[in-house]
Amino acid sequence: MTMDDLDQPTRKKPKLSRFFPAFLAWFLIGGCTVVYFIFPGQSLASKYSIAIPIIQGLVFAFLLANLTVAMCMDPGFLPRALPDEIPVDEFKSPLYKTIEIHQVQVRLKWCTTCQLYRPPRTSHCSTCNRCIEVFDHHCPWVANCVGRRNYRYFLYFLTSLCLHMLLVTAGCAHEVITESANLAHPVQIVSIVLIVLNGILIFPIAGLSCFHFHLVAKANTTNEQVTSKFKNSVNPYDRGCWRNCTSTFCGPLYGKNKRMEEVQYAAVPKASERVPFSPPASPTQVRIEMPDSGDASGNPAPVRYKSLRHEPPPQPLAPHQRLPPR
């Protein structure tokens, strides 16, 4: 039984309505940007310089790249427990375990779905039906959870989106002001519509960006902030504003959690491949030979045992080979 077989019975089938906010986000961002480049952007390029739409195009490309990564990247899913790791009677397992992090007591909760104790800052997402490491929130606009691995790209997406909206609004406002005598022109009409639309959307997006930058400075997550987890205690993950920001934006990129059944049981030979072994009289008279690699099919080579009873004893070292006394 593989990990996919374990996930299949409890995995929720994604509904199309789950991806509707993400589709709407792509439609608004892409549609408004294309209309801007066709009408006000082309007018600004012909009046001033081609560098204006090029700079805005680079910002737009950076925005789309981070949005795609935030949507498609594994946010930090933890693999479910293997069959031999599931307790016989899970109701006898304690619901919480307490550990200490920087002299602060932190409780680890037992997840009945994933059959494991959630690591610190891990939470179970009811939408994805998985445990996410350093869970922040489930964002419907990216159709994915925001966790340990994609939180940085989510912040890059918010920042570049605010900058892109400001540039588009500034370009449209310049067109309306300089061509106020000809407001019936299609370029001016499109500019006015984009100004109104950006003016409505930029305030919640900018507020969300400021909220997440505040969380980064405090080394907090949205889930911890909403649940007031560290309201009456010290945050053990807070290392100061500067170190919190540098670790979030410039820290290491965490790898994906591998399927543990491949790592745990890869070196265990099959029953038909095991070499029969009879231990000698003394358990110390055994040498274990571990081959470096398996056969051509990728199966691990069997472990070989060799008795040392018939081998000559090791020769003593020469005087010039001995280590000097300390």
Structure tokens at 294: 């398996």
**How many CB atoms are located within 10 Å of the residue 124 CB?**
17
Looking at residue 284, its amino acid is T
Looking at residue 255, its amino acid is G
Alpha-helical regions (H) of the chain:
3-10, 20-38, 40-47, 51-72, 151-178, 186-217, 222-226, 241-249, 260-264
Looking at residue 150, its amino acid is N
Q: Which residues contact 190 (CB under 8 A, 6 or more apart)?
A: 35, 36, 39, 40, 172
210 is catalytic: no
Pairing of strands 123-125, 130-132: antiparallel
Q: Are 156 and 253 in contact (CB under 8 A)?
A: no
Q: Environment class of residue 184 by beta-carbon count within 10 Å: exposed (0-12), middle (13-18) or buried (19+)?
A: exposed
Looking at residue 69, its amino acid is V
**How many CB atoms are located within 10 Å of the residue 183 CB?**
12
Single out the residue of 98, 94, 124 nearest to residue 111, CA to CA. 124
Catalytic position from the list 131, 139, 145, 172: 139
Sign (positive or negative) of CA dihedral 13, 18, 19, 20: positive
**Cα distance between residue 198 and residue 173, in whole Å:** 11
**Cα distance between residue 201 and residue 199, in whole Å:** 6
Q: Are 113 and 10 in contact (CB under 8 A)?
A: yes
**Cα distance between residue 13 and residue 132, in whole Å:** 18
Catalytic center residues:
139
